[in-house]
Amino acid sequence: MTQKPKVAFFDFSSCEGCQIELTNFGDADFLELLNHIDIVEFREAMSEKTDDIDIACIEGSFTRESEKDRLIAIRNRAKIVIAYGACAHTAGINALKNHTTDFKKAVYGQDADQPHLNSNDKALPISHVIKVDYFAPGCPMSKYEFLNIVSHLLHGKEPVIPTYPVCVECKRNETICRYDVGDHCMGQVAMAGCGAPCPSQGIPCEACRGFCEQANLTALENTLINKAGFSASRAKDKLRMFTNALLPDTSNP
Amino acid sequence: MNHHYITLKDFNLFLTKLVNQKIVYGPVARKNKFVFDLISSPEQLRLDYDVTILPPKKIFFPPKQHLLHFDGESYKDCLDPKEQIIMGVHNYDIKAIDQLDFLFKEKNPDDHYLLNRRKTTIIGSNIQTIAARSFWGSAGAGVEPKGHDGFLTKLKDGFVFETRTKKAENLVKFAKFIKAKKTQVEQAAQINTAVKKKCPAKLAYSSAEIAIKTRLAFKNNELWERLSKDCFSCGSCNTTCATCYCFDVQDSWNLDQKSGFRTRYWDSCMTVEFAKTSLGGGAVHNFRALRRERFRHRVMRKLVYLNDKLGGPACVGCGRCATACTADIADPVNIVKEIMEA
Ligand code: SF4
Ligand code: SF4
Ligand code: SF4
Ligand code: SF4
Ligand code: SF4
């Protein structure tokens, strides 16, 4: 690209934690990236708007009807769309409500009927509404992976994101498997690319990056029951944390 | 070459001197497991370990290895071999390293492996604690361990140190080794023979019988389907395997958009993407798209395909895959039993 590509950031239903991950200025890598791109919209940082965008980076899930038009408008202005963070990629923890009906009451109690709290029954990945070209998964997403994706795009190259499970990276780190210390883990079905930081810190993988290719969810339930001593219902519910919107019983809008 | 003897006390002094002057790796405790790691003082070295999470190949063939650095105009290889010693390698891993040495040398010699390997001194040690899932006593039983430089066998009050190369013989000057007595040498040999019978798990058939029957089972889809039903395609049975040698190569750019690294990572034929190939124009074909095909492939690689080339099976019976597989379906002992009884 001769001119610096125009990059814009948008946020939908999310905690905006992934933006914070990015706006971690003072980080030499991010400042270096700014030498190669023009940021034209960034809710957290600026206000001017432009009509054509080379790369639109979208954070957050689709959970209100009104968000549909906004997403479509962004898609129409953007050459490339990157969904960044679990909320945009898998609907993340917003989808925890997807298999329930009393979520408003549970969260807001007697204020549950206030109109501004209205949202769809299901939170969904933005890919349900618009075509997404690249995903930077994770809760929060890894800024290094994000930079790696943008860096590849600037070269006109396809970014390489692994499709295999977290276990591959966990073993390369020679981390003691959670199952070998009487714990549980979901790294066997989670998509790698994060470098398996959670098991290496002694906590289970919660599959915040969504599922790997051909994720064997039945086998995971069996393993959680047989090896980690979970009850059948807890084993089933375990998968809802970051991937509820991807499960067969909750994925249809 | 020679058989030396050293008392336990002098062995500690030997180690102290060695780790002060050389880069020494060996088995160390990590919580309830063992790993090969740098040794900085003698008490860290745990020659009583059962098995390590990853095999010792990681020291000269690391899970992630830069191959070359580029800056947009030129490139430079990242070869940087260092003199290093690996202490306490068990016989199954010695056999595995011997296989890797052969495989990385044949056809296109791989300098990123070979240069590191040549500078590495490998000192084996007898197996004092037997891992629960190991079956090295019966895996490739006819294959003798070779390719290592020296071997330590622990007797009651000291070690017999067999030196097989000059590299090992050079270590003797670091401490008070004396010539081993004939009885000590015999005792050491007897210890290493006797331990082979002590593995809890066993292959009940010869390597040749297993290879023939396994190859015949190739088209038994029902068998492979059943064995692989719970498989996660997570590759832990490859990434912990003493003899796996596949790697993936990726380029990554620094943010200056010019420089970067070409890096290789341990790969795994059990993952879905391993057998994906480009057909051009963005089209992709996966020639092992099914779980059962990938599962079968690993089994064939360990028990059949490489046997002629290596003079024995590519499985040395360390049992790491059996322990690492969270679905507990990777254990060659169970797989062989199913195949032989199918
Ligand atoms: S700790 Fe989790 S990610 Fe690591 S190997 Fe075990 S199951 Fe896989
Ligand atoms: S290890 Fe699992 S939970 Fe942790 S960052 Fe990776 S995918 Fe997310
Ligand atoms: S297949 Fe399993 S038992 Fe055999 S060498 Fe590999 S890890 Fe060890
Ligand atoms: S078993 Fe698979 S990963 Fe291991 S060396 Fe063979 S083909 Fe490679
Ligand atoms: S056999 Fe076990 S360790 Fe190997 S890929 Fe399947 S689940 Fe993972």
What residues 47-106 of chain B have any CB closer than 8 A to a CB of chain A? 53-54, 58, 63-64
Q: What 3-state DSSP class applies to B2?
A: strand
CA neighbor of A161 nearest in space, from A203, A116, A191: A191
Please work out, in degrees rounded to the nearest 5, the angle formed at the alpha carbon of residue A163 by the alpha carbons of A157 and A169: 105
The answer to whether residues B158 and B224 belong to one domain is: no
CA-based nearest residue to B237, from A8, A177, A72: A177
Q: Say yes or no: B18 and B147 in one domain.
A: yes
pLDDT at B159: 98
Which residues of chain B have a CB within 8 Å of the CB of A215?
232
Residue range B192-203, pLDDT digits in tens: 999 999 999 999
Tell me, yes or no, whether B186 and B231 share the same domain.
no
Amino acid A50: pLDDT: 64
Task: Give the span between the Cα atoms of B137 and B139, in whole angstroms.
Answer: 6
- pLDDT per position as a tens digit, A117-127: 888 889 999 99
- How remote is the CA of residue B1 from the centroid of ligand 5, in Å? 42
Give the residue numbers spanning the domain of B10: 2-198
Among A157, A174, A212, A226, most B C-beta atoms within 10 A, so best to mutate, is A174
Does B225 share its domain with B333? yes
Protein residue closest via CA to atom 4 of ligand 4: B244
Pairwise CB contact (< 8 Å): B229 & A155: no
For A109: left if phi > 0, alpha if psi spans -120 to 50, otherwise beta; the answer is left
N-term to C-term CA, chain A: 39
Asked if B232 lies within 8 A of A189 by C-beta distance, the reply is yes
DSSP string, chain A: --SPPEEEEEE-BS-SHHHHHHT-TT-HHHHHHHTT-EEEEETTT-----S-EEEEEEESBB-STHHHHHHHHHHHHEEEEEEESHHHHH-GGGGGGTT-S-HHHHHHGGGTT-GGG---SS-B-GGGTS--SEEE-BTTBPHHHHHHHHHHHHTT-------SBHHHHHHHTTPPPGGGGT----TTTBB--S--HHHHTTS----TT-B-TT--HHHHHHHHHHTT---HHHHHHHTHHHHGGGSTTT---
pLDDT of the residue at A106:
86
pLDDT at B110: 98
Number of domains comprising chain B: 2
Same domain, B90 and B184: yes
* CB half-sphere exposure, A38, CA atoms < 13 A: 13
Q: Please answer yes or no on whether B234 and A29 come within 8 Å at the CB atom.
A: no
Higher-scoring residue by pLDDT: A44, B233: B233
CA quadruple B159, B162, B167, B169: dihedral, nearest 10: 80
Q: Give the confidence band of A175 by pLDDT, cuts at 50, 70, 90.
A: very high
Which tokens belong to B124?
A: 């084996």
Residue A37 structure tokens:
């791109």
Report residue A44's pLDDT band, with 50, 70 and 90 as the boundaries. very low
Q: What is the pTM of this model?
A: 0.94
Contacts of B42 (CB under 8 A, 6+ apart): B12, B15, B16, B19
Does B302 score more than 70 pLDDT?
yes
Query: What is the predicted pLDDT for the residue at A25?
Result: 56
Please indicate, yes or no, whether residues B30 and B141 belong to a single structural domain of this protein.
Answer: yes
pLDDT tens digits for range B215-231: 999 999 999 999 999 99
| Torsion of the alpha carbons at B334, B335, B336 and B341, rounded to the nearest 10 | 90
Same-domain check for residues B170 and B257 = no
**Cα-based distances in Å from B207 to A188, B193, B340:** 31, 19, 12
**Which range has the worst mean pLDDT, A27-41, A54-68, A160-174, A214-228?**
A27-41
Please, what is the average pLDDT of chain A?
A: 89
Tell me: do B82 and B118 sit in the same domain. Answer: yes
Nearest CA to ligand 5 atom 4: B237
Please state, in angstroms and rounded to a whole number, the distance separating the CA atoms of residues B237 and B323. Answer: 9
* Last-in-domain residue among B165, B198, B231: B198
Query: What DSSP line would sit under B141-187, residue for residue?
Result: TTPPP-S-SEEEEE-SSEEEEEE-SHHHHGGGGGTT-EEPPHHHHHH
| Model confidence band, residue A250 (pLDDT cutoffs 50, 70, 90) | low
Top pLDDT among A103 and B266 is at B266
Q: Ligand 5 mean position to A111 CA, how many Å?
A: 49
The residue type at B313: P
Gap between the Cα atoms of B21 and B88, Å rounded: 18
Q: Are residues A106 and A100 in contact, defined by beta-carbon separation less than 8 angstroms?
A: yes
pLDDT averaged over every residue in chain B: 96
Q: Is residue A252 over pLDDT 50?
A: no
Helix (H) or strand (E) holding B298: helix B291-300
Report whether pLDDT(B133) > 90.
Answer: yes
Q: Residue B100: pLDDT above 50?
A: yes
Instruction: Choose one of B176, B198, B220: the last residue of a domain.
Output: B198
Classify residue B278 by its DSSP letter.
E
The encoded tokens of residue A229 equal 């001593």
Angle among Cα B227, B242, B300 to the nearest 5 degrees reads 40
> What would the mean pLDDT of B92-110 be, rounded to a whole number?
97
Closest CA of chain B from A46, distance in Å: 24
Chain-chain contact of B272 with A164 (C-beta, under 8 angstroms): yes
Question: Are B130 and B240 within one domain?
Answer: no
List A13's β-bridge partners, or say none: A61
pLDDT at B271: 98
- Cα separation, B175 vs A110, whole angstroms: 80
Same domain, B244 and B305: yes
Q: Are A81 and A74 in contact (CB under 8 A)?
A: yes
Q: Which of B255, B259, B321 to mutate to test the interface with A (most CBs of A within 10 A)?
A: B255
pLDDT in tens, A50-67: 678 999 999 999 999 999
In order, the DSSP letters of B180-225 are: PPHHHHHHHHHHHHHGGGG-SS---S-HHHHHHHHHHGGG-HHHHH
- Return the closest-CA partner of residue A138 out of A10, A45, A22: A22
Specify whether the CB–CB gap between B325 and B268 falls below 8 A. no
Establish if B239 touches chain A: CB-CB under 8 angstroms. yes
According to the model, what pLDDT value does residue A111 have? Answer: 87
Q: Which residue has the least CA distance to atom 3 on ligand 5?
A: B325
Average pLDDT of span B170-199:
96
- Whole-number Å distance between alpha carbons of A212 and A148: 19
User: What are A56-100's pLDDT values in tens digits?
Assistant: 999 999 999 999 999 999 999 999 999 999 999 999 988 888 888
Q: What is the pLDDT of residues A184-233, one digit of tens each?
A: 999 999 999 999 999 999 999 999 999 999 999 999 999 999 999 999 99
Residue B240's pLDDT is: 98
pLDDT tens per residue, range B38-97: 999 999 999 999 999 999 999 999 999 999 999 989 999 999 999 999 999 999 999 999
B286 beta partners: B276
In angstroms, what separates the C-alpha of B216 from chain A's closest C-alpha? Answer: 28
Which residue is it, tokens 């204020």? A111
Arithmetic mean of pLDDT, B124-150:
96
Whether residue B159 is found in the same domain as residue B267:
no
Kindly write down the DSSP assignment for every residue of A26-51, as one continuous string.
T-HHHHHHHTT-EEEEETTT-----S
Residues contacting ligand 4 via CB (< 6 Å): B 238, 241, 244-246, 268-269, 298, 301
CA angle B269, B272, B274 (to 5 degrees): 45
- Nearest residue CA, atom 6 of ligand 3? B241
Nearest in space to B267 (alpha carbons), one of B32, B61, B20: B61
Locate B162 and state its tokens: 């067999």
- Mapping DSSP to helix (H, G, I), strand (E, B) and coil, where does residue B64 land? strand
Structure tokens at A106: 């549970």
Average pLDDT over residues B283-290: 96
CA–CA gap between residue A215 and residue B177 (Å, rounded): 56
Domain end marker among B172, B198, B224? B198
Global ipTM? 0.96
End-to-end CA distance of chain B: 47
Tell me what pLDDT residue A132 has: 97
* Matching residue, tokens 């690319």: A193
Name every residue whose Cβ is closer than 8 Å to that of residue B212 and which is 6 or more positions away in sequence: none
Q: Is the CB of B246 inside 8 Å of chain A's CB atoms?
A: no
Give yes or no for residue A135 having a pLDDT over 90: yes
Q: What are chain A's domains?
A: 6-154 (3.40.50.700), 166-246 (no CATH)
* Pair (B156, B183) in one structural domain: yes
Residue type, B94: I
